[in-house]
Structure 1
Amino acid sequence: MANWQEIMTFIGESNRDVKLLEGDEKTGREECFDLNIPEKSLLYEIVCNTGGIVIDDWIRIFGQTKDNIGISHYNKEFGASHEMTGLFVVASDIVGGLFAININRFEDEANSIWYFAPDTLEWECLEMKYSEFFSWALQGNIDEFYETMRWNGWKKDAKEVGFDQGILIYPFLWANECIIDNADKKAVPFDELVALNFENEKRLFEDIYDEK
């Protein structure tokens, strides 16, 4: 997928519900320059040509930033937090998960995609580069990946959630008490959902540390 036309062809071959948010090429190029995104890379093409890509109303691949939505916004919003040190976030999902390129946070799998899982509050390596992640999101088995985080009726709920929102699930996905079909679900600003996950992660692991 060396150019945008090839990328569009690949997107068109997906059997998933894919939505492209409108982008401005000039704005995208400037943003790529500011973020040091290499020219002719897949990430460069996506940021240059879209405001983001939404897959099954669940996964959001970040494009250029507009109205506090996009790759610059989220990296600036989350980049100052300890949880994002050495990572470059490129996508999210509606339950608060984050997909990020490992720049220098973890010794293993540099430049691979790591996932901040809202059901464990930990980063896990997906053993994929960005291009592989893009292919997986469009044509891979994401249903199996999210099997324990989805509920009866999730498709209907997901359609009502904006790109700048997420679904807060309570009891939290990481809690032993969480039975996903019975849990309360509420659309909230995505920034707040991620901040809450990071806050819970910090508190949870501080408690474990104190017990030791």
Structure 2
Amino acid sequence: MEQPAWFEISALVAAAPYRVTVLPADAQRAAACLAALDITTRSWLGAVVANSGGLVIDHGWLRVLGSGHDGLPDVAAEMVPGAGRLVVAFDVMGGQFAWSQAEPGVRPTVHYFGPEDLAWQDLELGYGDWLEAMLAGAMTQFYEGLRWPGWEAEVASVALDQGISAWPPPWTREGKDFSAVSRKPVRLAELVSVHQDAARQLGFL
């Protein structure tokens, strides 16, 4: 029997202003992921894990992690030991969303690490509120500065395990105009690593 949290999520998926693909879940993999995270399907994160391999939103721009799918890791695989941070989504530009506890006793919130500023930003939203916002249309404004004319077709052609690398990089002054930079698909894990390395070298992490 489906849990109330998944009914709410499903309703948001159906009403989303952009296309949302619910990747099929593997029951065994989902159960292992829930156990690793020690959560139940009553939570929104648990409902996503139990009922989907992940959510692919707006032509594949945002990939919300679930119990895993071909090309997309499960959310438990993205746990950062000792960091107090759980990566819950990636975007096609190599940005990351992580559920993080700023300090003990404080409610965890979703933080965003973006390729344009190479710093973790507290969105001050819990996981459920963040996911609801992303499904309800907030992505359009959130990513306004990272998009270019015709991005929809370009992003849709990129595989789930790939992202789009831009040169000059988004964190440079020359790389701010995404319609003028050179873009190519690369492995998403490699793209995320490049952004993290750049942040460390520049002293942002």
Structure-1-length-normalised TM-score: 0.86
Identify unmatched segments of 5+ residues in structure 2: none
Counterpart contact for 2:71–2:160, Cα < 8 Å:
no
Counterpart contact for 2:162–2:186, Cα < 8 Å:
yes
The whole-number CA distance in structure 2 between the counterparts of 1:170 and 1:73 is 32
The whole-number CA distance in structure 1 between the counterparts of 2:38 and 2:107 is 17
Amino acid at match of 1:193: L
Give yes or no for the alignment of 1:63 onto 2:60: no
The whole-number CA distance in structure 1 between the counterparts of 2:19 and 2:108 is 28
Counterpart contact for 2:71–2:159, Cα < 8 Å:
no
- 1:140 Cα deviation (Å)? 3.0
Rate the CA distance shift 1:197–1:20 in 2: closer, same or farther, 3 A.
same
From 36, 45, 69, the counterpart of 1:43: 45
Give yes or no for the alignment of 1:87 onto 2:89: no
Counterpart contact for 2:5–2:41, Cα < 8 Å:
no
From 2, 13, 16, the counterpart of 1:14: 16
- 1:39 Cα deviation (Å)? 3.8
Counterpart contact for 1:31–1:72, Cα < 8 Å:
yes
Counterpart contact for 1:89–1:100, Cα < 8 Å:
yes
Rate the CA distance shift 1:156–1:66 in 2: closer, same or farther, 3 A.
closer
The whole-number CA distance in structure 1 between the counterparts of 2:113 and 2:127 is 15
Count of residues paired in the alignment: 200
The whole-number CA distance in structure 2 between the counterparts of 1:51 and 1:118 is 25
- 1:16 Cα deviation (Å)? 1.2
- 1:25 Cα deviation (Å)? 2.6
Work out the percentage of aligned pairs sharing the same amino acid. 31
The whole-number CA distance in structure 1 between the counterparts of 2:156 and 2:86 is 27
Identify unmatched segments of 5+ residues in structure 1: none
Give yes or no for the alignment of 1:102 onto 2:100: yes
Structure-2-length-normalised TM-score: 0.89
Deviations 1:145-166 (A, max 9, x none): 1111111111011100111111
Counterpart contact for 2:65–2:74, Cα < 8 Å:
yes
Please name the residue that 2:144 is paired with: 147
Please name the residue that 1:189 is paired with: 187
Q: Which moved more, 1:192-201 or 1:30-39?
A: 30-39
* 3-state SS, counterpart of residue 23 of structure 2: strand
Rate the CA distance shift 1:155–1:13 in 2: closer, same or farther, 3 A.
same
